[in-house]
Structure 1
Amino acid sequence: MERLSDIVDMAQAHIEQETALRIERIRRNAKPGVGRAHCIDCGQPIPAARRASVPGASRCVTCQSLIETF
């Protein structure tokens, strides 16, 4: 019989794999381009690193996180 810790480790590995696959899918389907210079929600500048890693980004990390939470 498997120990509970083994089951938890397998579940965590599965969650990490699913997260990586979802991130890759989002990047593949993102609109080409460098995105906006400022967030469409709060107006703060979107860092160049975010625009480069997430083509077509239109929100800063904080605002995007709030959108994805709900």
Structure 2
Amino acid sequence: MGEEIDKGATETRRVTRLIRLPEVQHRVGLGRSTIYRWMSEGKFPRPVQLGGYSVAWAESEIDGWVADRITHST
């Protein structure tokens, strides 16, 4: 009599990596003020609050934003 395997336990989990502003700037090629201005205009992903004044962006959202720019520029 075999044991049943929980399918949820065998599926690959995707971990959300959070990246800080210097890495975001490097990846998108924009300065801090442009990033924050575009965020206020709804043109750039908003960060998540880590506590106090610390924020970070979901890597997948930044990657998606960059990919969207590449797709729409061609």
Please state which band the TM-score falls in when normalised by the shorter chain: 0.3 to 0.5
**Structure that is richer in strand per residue:** 2
**TM-score normalised by length of structure 1:** 0.32
**TM-score normalised by length of structure 2:** 0.31
Please say which structure displays the higher CA radius of gyration: 2
**Structure that is richer in helix per residue:** 1
